[in-house]
């Protein structure tokens, strides 16, 4: 079973991905936790380039680099895990590209969906949890985080727009409250998939 966590920067996805993986493991399941971009040798190197504030790049190159990292982690980590019946909990996946590159950069959702699905060979999460409503960013901004307030407003709106387009796969999770509150909402949103 493949589940992704999504949302704007600083919404608390990484903490929640870890809590979810732990809770699923406690039921006896094998769980593979990953994050995007990254998770493979190639993916980590591409991540370093993508997030380096010293590197300038065009929007199309950026979109293709995110897709390249995604192709690699899908082939090397995610698809093999799904094949052996494990759960995969991924911190960001295709929807980050649809929103950041497709909507916020303005490249269009349809072409970005096409390159992302080409990259994953059609692999898509069974359910995607989009967290929204808080911003806990407090560290030095990376290249994406430095993109400006307008860009990040488009990202936040873009996730809500996307959730409306695919209500079966994408569930909105209110990220306001304690870690435990949010973890409970996420657990509830996996009804029908989890044990």
Q: 3-class DSSP state for residue 51?
A: helix
**Continuous H helices in 6-55:** 13-26, 41-51
Binding residues for ligand TYD restricted to 3-32, rule: CB under 6 A: 9-10, 13-14
36 touches ligand TYD (CB under 6 A): yes
Query: Under the criterion CB under 6 A, does residue 145 sit at the interface with ligand TYD?
Result: yes
Does residue number 97 form part of the binding site for ligand TYD (CB under 6 A)? yes
Q: Which residue carries 């799904």 as its tokens?
A: 82
> Considering the rule CB under 6 A, would residue 132 count as an interface residue with ligand TYD?
no
CB of 73 to ligand TYD, least distance (A): 10
CB of 195 to ligand TYD, least distance (A): 27
Residue 87 phi/psi, 5° resolution? -90, 145
Question: From CA 34, how far away is CA 77, in angstroms rounded?
Answer: 9
- Minimum distance from CB of 78 to ligand TYD (Å)? 13
* H or E element that contains 187: helix 179-189
Q: Kindly state whether residue 157 participates in binding ligand TYD, applying the rule CB under 6 A.
A: no
Total of residues contacting ligand TYD (CB under 6 A): 15
Give the CA-trace dihedral at 80, 84, 85, 88, to 10 degrees.
Answer: -30
Among 2, 66, 87, 159, binds ligand TYD (CB under 6 A): 66
| DSSP E strands, 56-190 | 87-91, 127-132, 170-174
Residue in the block written with tokens 């039921």: 27
The residue number whose beta carbon is nearest to ligand TYD equals 100
Write out the E strands in 145-185: 170-174
Q: Please select the residue that binds ligand TYD; options are 33, 74, 96, 128, rule is CB under 6 A.
A: 96
- Toward ligand TYD, which CB reaches closer, 9 or 187? 9
Contacts with ligand TYD by CB under 6 A lie at 9-10, 13-14, 35-37, 66, 92, 96-97, 100-101, 144-145
């Amino acid at each position: 079973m493949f589940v992704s966590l999504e949302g704007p920067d600083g919404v608390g996805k990484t903490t929640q991905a870890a809590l979810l993986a732990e809770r699923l493991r406690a039921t006896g399941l094998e769980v593979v936790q990953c994050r995007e971009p990254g998770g493979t040798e190639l993916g980590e190197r591409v991540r370093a380039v993508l997030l380096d504030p010293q590197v300038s790049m065009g929007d199309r190159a950026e979109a293709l680099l995110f897709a390249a990292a995604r192709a690699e982690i899908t082939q090397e980590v995610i698809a093999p895990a799904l094949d052996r019946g494990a759960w995969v909990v991924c911190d960001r996946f295709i929807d980050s590209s649809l929103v950041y590159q497709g909507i916020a950069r303005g490249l269009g959702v349809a072409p970005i969906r096409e390159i992302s699905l080409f990259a994953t060979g059609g692999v898509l999460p069974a359910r995607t949890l989009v967290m929204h409503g808080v911003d806990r960013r407090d560290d030095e901004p990376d290249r994406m985080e430095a993109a400006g307030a307008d860009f990040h407003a488009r990202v936040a709106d873009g996730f809500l727009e996307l959730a409306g387009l695919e209500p079966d796969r994408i569930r909105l999770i209110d990220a306001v409250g304690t870690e435990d509150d949010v973890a409970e909402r996420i657990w509830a949103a996996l009804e029908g998939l989890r044990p």
